[in-house]
Structure 1
Amino acid sequence: MSNTSDVNSPPSAAAGRMANLEQQQQKVEDAPDAPNPNDPQEPERFRTVADCATGELLREALLACSTADADWKTPHIDASTSLPQSLDDEARRLLELKEYYVLDSEQEAKFERITGLASRIFDVPMR
């Protein structure tokens, strides 16, 4: 008798698993749809790495910027103290950040205080 099959499980265990699956399905159905940045009805927002499901899509999005509009580049970088910026390095950096689930997270008071302090100390703007 196998424990891995609902056929051989006690009815209450199978019913419990079924109820759990139904709850999970309902959560998926009730979840709001992800915003579509190409939909003119959606409020304007900054695009994010979360909009790109794969590294290739992220790289394409970064490439889509003209050189003048490359919003992924730091505009006033000191070349004598910095490595050259490359599209591949930026895509890799963003994908690594995406894996930590810290991008586009809700605001947290502690984090806001730390980033505000860093902004004032280093005299850099926060977006």
Structure 2
Amino acid sequence: MSRLGARLAYVDARLDYEIDAVAAHDAVAASEAVLVDTRRLESWQHGHIAGARHLPKTEVASGLETLPRDRTLIVYGWGPGCNGATSTARVLLAAGLDVRELLGGYEYWVRNGFEVESAGVVSRQQPDPLVTAEA
């Protein structure tokens, strides 16, 4: 395979695996996907995507059986600088589950103005015009 062909295959694979916040929101709304928060408990309690399941990367092996197998699992961590979701996704994919990773993680979900939950209260912040088409 040529260098350009290898790069094209890599980009195609990324597009098949990664999902942005808008597409993830739509997939969850259509009941096609379930969001899975891979952060530690303290981070989850600070705030998480409303409706997400909590499965810290340290508990993946013991939590495999609790995950649905009839929908895509969209894993996420804090944001672009966090790879906890990537390591969780690897375990889930190896176990035969359909997994995608949320680009930008929790940070970009919030910045898009989608619903989050903290202390039992669901809220949303004003969308950041730098990441959304809304102004």
TM-score by length of 1: 0.28
Greater strand content: 2
| Larger Rg, first or second structure (1 or 2) | 1
TM-score by length of 2: 0.27
